[in-house]
Amino acid sequence: MHAKIKSRRALPFGLSVLLIACFTPHALSEPSAGWALPGGGQGGGHFSTATQITPDNVSDLEIAWVHRSGDFRQGDNFLDGLSGTKPLQSSWQATPILIEDQLVICTPFNRIIAVDASTGEERWSFTPDINLDSFGMPRCRGVTQWQDSRVAAGDMCHTVVIAPLMDARIVGLDALTGNRCAFGDKKNLDLSVGLGPYQEGFYMLNTPPVIVNNALITGGSIADNITTKVPSGVIRSYDLLTGNLLWAWEPLGNPTEGSAASTEKAESGAESMPPAYQQDTAHSSDLAYQRGTTNSWSFLSVDPKLGLVYVPTGNTSPDYYGGQREGLDYYSSSVVALRIDTGEVAWHFQTVHHDIWDFDVPSQPTFFDWERGGESVLGLAQTTKQGYVFLLDRETGEPLFPVVETAVPQGAVTGDFTAPTQPIPSKPRSLFELPGDNELLWGLTPWDKGACANTLEEVRYEGPFTPPTTDGALHMPSAFGGQNWGGPAIDSIRGKLIVNTLHMGTILQLLPREECGPEAGPDPVAPGAFILEPGEGTPYCNRRWLGFVSPLGIPCTPPPWGTLASIDLQTGDVDWQVPLGTTRDMAPFPFWFIKGSPNLGGPVVTASGLTFIGATSDHFLRAFDTQTGDELWKGRLPTSGHGLPITYQLQEDSAQYVVIAAGGHAVLGTPPGDHLIAFKLPNKK
> If pLDDT is split at 50, 70 and 90, which confidence band does 2 have?
low
Confidence check: pLDDT of 417 > 60 = yes
Cite the active site residues. 358
Q: Is the pLDDT of residue 355 over 80?
A: yes
Q: What integer is the mean pLDDT of 345-354?
A: 98
Please, where are the H alpha helices in 389-461? 446-458
Mean pLDDT of 274-287: 42
Nearest to 670 by CA among 586, 609, 604, 588: 586
Mean pLDDT of 4-32: 41
Indicate if the pLDDT at residue 8 is higher than 70.
Answer: no
Would the pLDDT of 87 be above 80?
A: no
Calpha distance 110→90 (Å, rounded): 11
Give, as one character, the DSSP assignment of residue 124.
Answer: E
pLDDT grade, residue 254 (50/70/90)? low
Residue 79 main-chain phi, psi, to 5 deg? -65, -45
Q: Which residues, at least 6 apart from 517, have a Cβ–Cβ distance to it below 8 Å?
A: none
Rounded Cα gap, residues 256 and 492, in angstroms:
36
Whether 304 shows a pLDDT value over 80: the answer reads yes
Average pLDDT over residues 137-157: 94
pLDDT, one tens digit per residue, over 451-500 is 999 999 999 999 999 999 999 999 999 999 999 999 999 999 999 999 99
Distance of alpha carbon 388 from alpha carbon 551, whole angstroms: 31
Give the CATH fold of the 32-680 domain.
Methanol Dehydrogenase; Chain A (2.140.10)
pLDDT of residue 659: 98
In this prediction the pTM is: 0.91
> What does the pLDDT read at residue 521?
62
Cβ pair 560, 503 in contact under 8 A: yes
pLDDT at 594 over 80: yes
- The stretch 361-375 carries a mean pLDDT of 94
Give tens-digit pLDDT for 62-73: 999 999 999 988
- The model's pLDDT over 605-660, given as tens digits with 9 standing for 90+, comes to 999 999 999 999 999 999 999 999 999 999 999 999 999 999 999 999 999 999 99
Distance of CA 198 to the CA centre of its chain: 24
Mean pLDDT is lowest, of 110-119, 548-557, 609-618, 647-656, for 548-557
Average pLDDT rounded to a whole number, residues 16-35: 50
Q: Give 77's pLDDT tier (boundaries 50, 70, 90).
A: low
Whether the pLDDT of residue 519 is over 80: the answer is: no
Look at residue 361 and tell me whether its pLDDT is greater than 80.
yes
pLDDT band at residue 373 using 50, 70 and 90 as cut-offs: confident
Q: Which residues of 396-412 are buried (b: 16+ CB within 10 A; e: fewer)?
A: ebebbeebeeeebbeeb
Residue pLDDT, tens place only, 166-195: 999 999 999 999 999 999 999 999 999 999
Nearest by Cα to 603 from 625, 585, 584: 625
List the domain boundaries for the chain.
32-680
CA distance 252 to 261: 12
* Mean pLDDT to the nearest integer, 557-583: 97
Give 285's pLDDT tier (boundaries 50, 70, 90).
low
Amino acid occupying residue 343: G
Share of the chain above pLDDT 70, in %: 88
Return mean pLDDT, the chain: 89
Q: pLDDT at position 270, please?
A: 27
What pLDDT is attached to residue 526? 79
pLDDT in the model for residue 589? 75
**Res 393 pLDDT > 60:** yes
Tell me the C-alpha distance between 649 and 52, whole Å: 9
Say whether the peptide bond before residue 645 is cis (omega within 30 degrees of 0): no
Exposure string of 99-119, with b = 16+ CB inside 10 Å and e = fewer, is: bbbbbbbbbbbbbbbbbebbe
Q: Which of 60-74, 153-167, 248-262, 362-376 has the lowest mean pLDDT?
A: 248-262
Q: What is the Cα–Cα distance from 577 to 566, expressed in whole angstroms? A: 6
Q: How confident is the model at residue 523 (pLDDT cuts 50, 70, 90)?
A: low
